[in-house]
Structure 1
Amino acid sequence: MVHCEQLTTPVDVVVSRMRALDAALPPRDGVAVFNRVYLMVTEAVDRCVDAGRFADPHAAITLDVRFAERYLAAVEAAEEGRPPACWRPLFQFRRHPGVRPLQFALAGINAHIGHDLALAVVDACRTLGCEPVELEDEFDRVGELLVSLEETIREELMPGPDLLQIADPLTHLLGSWSLERARDATWSAARALWALRRLPDLAEEFTERLDTAVGFAGRMLLTPLPR
């Protein structure tokens, strides 16, 4: 079991910040769409911790909070006009009338899982003084929760029965991205970043390339579609 230091930013603080964003943003805003989804996920993780579903709740909370902080930092950076590359498409297209709510949600999930989660694992390992393998159970449990919620997210944000038609552009777009594959790739990226922690130049280059690649995928997910 991993033993952690006292957290300075508990889950309830990041949840409060996401709720404040939800209250401040217009409902149709693309960032607001993702924020509602992520708020639901974070609250679900919090309930799982309270229910004892994590073998090491302190480690789970640490990972969850470090993860959320990455998203909230991206929001702050966007307000100053310099969001990370992985988040840039969502902030650029957040008000585009040709982008559907489900696309906004998946683009946010892509940025957060594909880039932020790998860095959050490294952040948590440094906070806890542990190796990534010691967080694998918490990582997998959070991933399983995200996958279980993905179906709910898609059902809630689907535009209607036309989605069932194979010719619908959104059907094609959704088939090009997988949360499970993204999660698997993120675990590999986190392990690589941890291995590179004593080679800061290579670690920085790896992080920049990951940021750019995830941003490219996000831009594809936000392709404006005909109604």
Structure 2
Amino acid sequence: MAQTGQITADTTHVTAVAARMRAWDARWPQTDGVAVFNRVYLRVTEEIGREIGAGGFPDVIAAQTLGARFAERYLDVVELVAEGGRPPACWRPLFQYRGHRDVRPLQFALAGINAHIGHDLALAVVDTCRSLDCAPRSIEDEFDRVGEILGTLEERIREELMPGPDLLQVADPLTHLLGTWSLERARDAAWSAARVLWSLRELPDLAEEFTERMDAGVGLVGRCLLTPWR
């Protein structure tokens, strides 16, 4: 566990990023693909805030920091795109296809989760460790607890956004496609990537190359998840 000083159940940072998500949600149409993911992620952020307030994390300061750094990476991309910038490869498919009428809401949600878990989570772990001056192993319990929250919400999201039974019979290839992606595997890969990046912190050229390859690979998966269903 990270030695982070006095532990308090202050959710200020998590509350602040949730407010930023609500502000963006108010600006987008409900059917916008990024808005679909944003609503999903807002629920995750609110749940993390409740868990922090209820003392559900072993180290509250580490949980606050990880939650905020994680969300800020997504919000930074949103602001970059709004200003006319080009998003990282992992986020590019979601922003490119956000208005495609033949991409289902569940596809948008999973593509966003894929980008955020597959790329941003590893970098957020490293950000957190730099902020708290600790190694990834010191915040593993907090990482795992966030993963448990994500897993529970993913099940609900699949139930709510999956097309109805009649459509599933027609769109069997889509059902198969969405079933090939696993949050648990993505989260395990993110943890391994975070440990690699931490070990490469004194080798910035290698760390940058590793991050670029990770970004590209996650982007390819995202593009597959957004395959139009007809």
Deviation (angstroms), 1:161: 1.0
Equivalent position amino acid for 2:94 in 1: L
* Equivalent in the alignment of 2:130: 126
Tell me whether 1:26 sits opposite 2:29 in the alignment.
Answer: yes
163 and 131 in structure 1: CA distance in 2 versus 1, 3 angstrom threshold: farther
How many residues end up aligned between the 2 structures? 225
Counterpart residue type for residue 132 of structure 1: P
Of residues 88, 102, 106, the one that matches 1:84 is: 88
* Shift in alpha-carbon separation, 1:162–1:5, aligned structure 2, 3 A: farther
Q: Structure 1 residue 209: deviation in Å?
A: 0.3
The runs of 5 or more residues in structure 2 that have no matched partner are: none
Deviation at 1:158, TM superposition (A): 1.3
- Normalising by structure 1, we get a TM-score of 0.95
**Unpaired stretches in structure 1, ≥5 consecutive residues:** none
Tell me the residue number matched to 1:94: 98
* 2:75 aligned residue: 72
For residue 46 of structure 2, what is the aligned residue in structure 1?
Answer: 43
Question: Residue 130 of structure 2 aligns to a residue in which SS?
Answer: helix
> Cα RMSD between the aligned structures?
1.6
**1:2 corresponds to:** 2
Identical aligned residues as a percent: 72
**Is 162-171 or 124-133 further displaced after alignment?**
162-171
Scaled by the length of structure 2, the TM-score of the pair is: 0.94
Q: Contact conserved, 1:163 with 1:170, CA < 8 A, in 2? A: no
Q: Deviation at 1:159?
A: 1.6
- Contact map agreement 1:86 1:213 (CA 8 A) in 2: yes
Q: Secondary structure at the match of 1:10?
A: helix
**Where do 4+ consecutive residues of structure 1 move more than 3 Å?**
3-7, 162-167
* 8 A contact 1:122–1:193 mirrored in 2: yes
Show CA shifts across 1:22-77 (max 9, x none).
Answer: 11110000000000000000000000111111010110010000000000011112
